[in-house]
Structure 1
């Protein structure tokens, strides 16, 4: 969605917004809950956590709204640092379609129609420069800084094809790509031209020394909206995928295709089923979906990895808080959203909409106001995962009998285990965590986030039977990070 997009009723997963429904949330007769971790039971791979700075939001990080150089560095640290920030590892860029590119629009690399899909296009990389911020409306600069700070995956997604390739001749207000099922245009079939357009964008980044890992050609294709957008059902997506896939293969780029960034979980499920029925699933490296129109729920029926690539609180009351009264933008709410995405929807990555922006809404993790930086507790909800779980990790089994606790666990490639426990009750929960690597030379550290703490390091104790014991305050989240 663009910054001024209409909120579409994202529902909060789980029950974090209403902790009282858990009853007392008190532990059993012993007063202590046992949490069992089982690294032998493995689930989906973990690819990372991230966000976007599309629609020139990245220029705000570099001072377009008054942010100083010192605070630019601070914001980048907050987003990417594994020492004093969230340690994010994925960046989602927007592939532009705008002929003009004032703030809030993304520049096209082909601003002038060649007149026919069979004519030679004129691509213009230099024309995407945002004065003072560089190529691609400033996204290239941010991408380079992100990679330098540890980002491992770049996803580039197009909200729309250029206007002259669509049946409505407009980058906005939906419209369809000329040549897909049911869409016949007087100008011809533009599917191959659009595939060439996307591959050329990838090549421009390659010449800058950057490999884009995934490319998408749709964003919320179920919505007709006033900003860059393009409609598609599953069959129509398949019509284009069978052109884009061989074009990308012939380019020898290492980029894989992502689809379809539906506005909600069920909207994307419908498009995925359609392209599967058309026999085009083989073209995909990644299935992508958002959380707005319908919240993430049951896993998709696919053997491809799944990412939730955009979700945010776009309309709830403005808040930086961890927990006040359970509103949709609070940190505790988002901690539970993330937990459910991994544990219920089986995603391999979770992305918020915007990382940092000069907005007063909840659409960003970090809110900028001139040279003032406001860090929301939502950032620290993400950090509970992204600081301690890294690409290459695998989700593993974790369980307890306490319904007030929402949990996930991951084993990193280096065998470090990170367990996230959210206490949704109004009471402190005494817990024992069993199954962590707690050998003679092992170490276990707790990291606490709540109204008073932003990923604060906490001590834990060894208990009888080889477990780790501690207490998790009410309405809090704690990660246990254990190395063998």
Structure 2
């Protein structure tokens, strides 16, 4: 059989099979605006370790296109949070994040806010460029996160391979106590950005302190710093006071970007015991070594600030004979629902779990762009082009429509295989103001007809958007708003649909 005939035969067979998977009887899902949960701060990513330069160095047309993919609230993901890496390296070799104070100024008492010893190159490894572009799209949440203090502030005199911040509980250095100096260092970094028109809303001072021990983690040869929750509390108290003194108390302190969810629970408990919880703006965690297993006990908001499929191979062959979107240039050769750890469906399930069962207020993927052959990124880049994964579109089903300051509201009645959540946007949101957003993920093979019964919300119109193996957040026909205010629609098998009900 000739190749073209074979492809047509396969496509016809698949279409026939799909048509035989008929929708089930309609399931009524109740959306109750009187039941409210956490406030959503947003969704985003980082471009730390010089990933931002991949965007900076793209040809102009491709650069504009990739920025649209990331931040446009009409055609892209509409991400609303950007996490920048605060550098601690004395150089910019390899993918190092360069420090604004690369040399020891002569002791902790020589470090002040905005002192003359600082070095600011106006680029920050491309991160300032991306931040300014993000701001032009309306992004207003910027998280400055340091992986480590500069080496001379640490017990091992090295930004890499562990070491503690000099002066925290149980850790002393002959050079003195560097807690206040480190706080002033972070504040100075944020002030450089403020001079460029970017105002940080959150600041963190650790990244995966559990992964920074070279004795237990030989791969910890990049910037990182050890800390317990108690030691973190020591620094939080100093940073809180320094922010207040600098009239920057509006910037929320984040801690501790723990390697796993259980680590975050443990560190938060220690911070509470040390009397520093009230000084925290957000608890931050990753889920590499332990996954979500119930909300963290804290009065602070909670964000998942990093996770990705670090080792899975980037998919280069389609499961279906449709390698290009029919009306755009986006390649669709990255899988959505094969069950792998890098699939879009897998990530949609992870975000749903985080938001609904673990009360997350923010969800950040690791990096947006990167080269190489793993699923570590959302978009695979080369010197001149890029390929988009279905992970980006799975996240976009949440991030485009659920805007900062939205409130998660009550949902009941979803059938087996259908993960449904609901969010009410603020009436003052710049886009999709006052809208009701209902993401519905169908992990089964059969289509599911749904009726959304809206309690306490009167909609004026409804639209629906779908991501699947062959679709990348496309408009989905068939969603209707009844005279009684109910919404009716269908969620195809192995697809992710977001219903947007306008106020």
Which residue of structure 2 lines up, in the alignment, with residue 21 of structure 1? none
Counterpart check, 1:446 vs 2:437: no
For 1:399 and 1:33, how far apart are their aligned partners in 2?
11
Shift of 1:284: 0.8
For 1:220 and 1:149, how far apart are their aligned partners in 2?
30
Matches within 5 A, 1:352-391: 352-391=365-404
Equivalent position SS for 1:247: helix
Q: Which moved more, 1:324-333 or 1:457-466?
A: 457-466
Bigger relative contact order, structure 1 or 2 (CA pairs below 8 A, ≥6 apart)? 1
Counterpart check, 1:69 vs 2:60: yes
Q: CA 1:372–1:175 in 2, change beyond 3 Å: closer, same or farther?
A: same
Q: Which runs of 5+ in 1 are unaligned?
A: 1-24
Which residue of structure 2 lines up, in the alignment, with residue 151 of structure 1? 139
Q: Which runs of 5+ in 2 are unaligned?
A: 1-20, 213-219, 316-332, 428-433
For 2:455 and 2:244, how far apart are their aligned partners in 1?
43
For 1:394 and 1:297, how far apart are their aligned partners in 2?
22
TM-score with structure 2 setting the length? 0.86
**Equivalent of 1:119 in 95, 110, 114:** 110
Shift of 1:361: 1.3
Counterpart check, 1:406 vs 2:428: no
**Equivalent of 2:314 in 302, 314, 318:** 318
Tell me, yes or no, if the aligned pair for 2:144 and 2:202 is still in contact at 8 Å. Answer: yes
Counterpart check, 1:237 vs 2:232: yes
Tell me, yes or no, if the aligned pair for 1:322 and 1:331 is still in contact at 8 Å. Answer: yes
Which residue of structure 1 lines up, in the alignment, with residue 3 of structure 2? none
Counterpart check, 1:428 vs 2:462: no
Which residue of structure 1 lines up, in the alignment, with residue 323 of structure 2? none
Equivalent position SS for 1:240: helix
Q: Deviations over 1:35-57 (max 9, x none)?
A: 11111111000111100000110
Q: Deviations over 1:360-394 (max 9, x none)?
A: 21111111122221011111111111111101110
Which residue of structure 2 lines up, in the alignment, with residue 4 of structure 1? none
**Equivalent of 1:247 in 235, 239, 242:** 242
Q: Which moved more, 1:248-257 or 1:461-470?
A: 461-470
For 2:285 and 2:235, how far apart are their aligned partners in 1?
18
Equivalent position SS for 1:180: coil
Counterpart check, 1:226 vs 2:244: no
Tell me, yes or no, if the aligned pair for 2:56 and 2:129 is still in contact at 8 Å. Answer: no
Tell me, yes or no, if the aligned pair for 1:436 and 1:467 is still in contact at 8 Å. Answer: no
Q: Which moved more, 1:48-57 or 1:253-262?
A: 253-262
For 1:359 and 1:128, how far apart are their aligned partners in 2?
30
User: Aligned residue pairs: how many?
Assistant: 449
Equivalent position SS for 2:257: strand
For 1:37 and 1:261, how far apart are their aligned partners in 2?
33
Tell me, yes or no, if the aligned pair for 2:26 and 2:449 is still in contact at 8 Å. Answer: yes
Equivalent position SS for 2:157: coil
For 1:299 and 1:451, how far apart are their aligned partners in 2?
32
Which residue of structure 2 lines up, in the alignment, with residue 160 of structure 1? 148
**Equivalent of 1:185 in 166, 173, 188:** 173
Shift of 1:466: 3.6
CA RMSD of aligned residues (A): 1.8
For 1:401 and 1:149, how far apart are their aligned partners in 2?
35
Which residue of structure 2 lines up, in the alignment, with residue 333 of structure 1? 346
Shift of 1:358: 2.1
For 2:456 and 2:282, how far apart are their aligned partners in 1?
32
For 1:316 and 1:480, how far apart are their aligned partners in 2?
31
For 2:355 and 2:457, how far apart are their aligned partners in 1?
25
Which residue of structure 1 lines up, in the alignment, with residue 437 of structure 2? 418
Which residue of structure 1 lines up, in the alignment, with residue 97 of structure 2? 106
Which residue of structure 1 lines up, in the alignment, with residue 4 of structure 2? none
Which residue of structure 2 lines up, in the alignment, with residue 95 of structure 1? 86
For 2:470 and 2:102, how far apart are their aligned partners in 1?
50
Which residue of structure 2 lines up, in the alignment, with residue 79 of structure 1? 70
Counterpart check, 1:276 vs 2:272: yes
Which residue of structure 1 lines up, in the alignment, with residue 496 of structure 2? 477
Shift of 1:327: 0.5
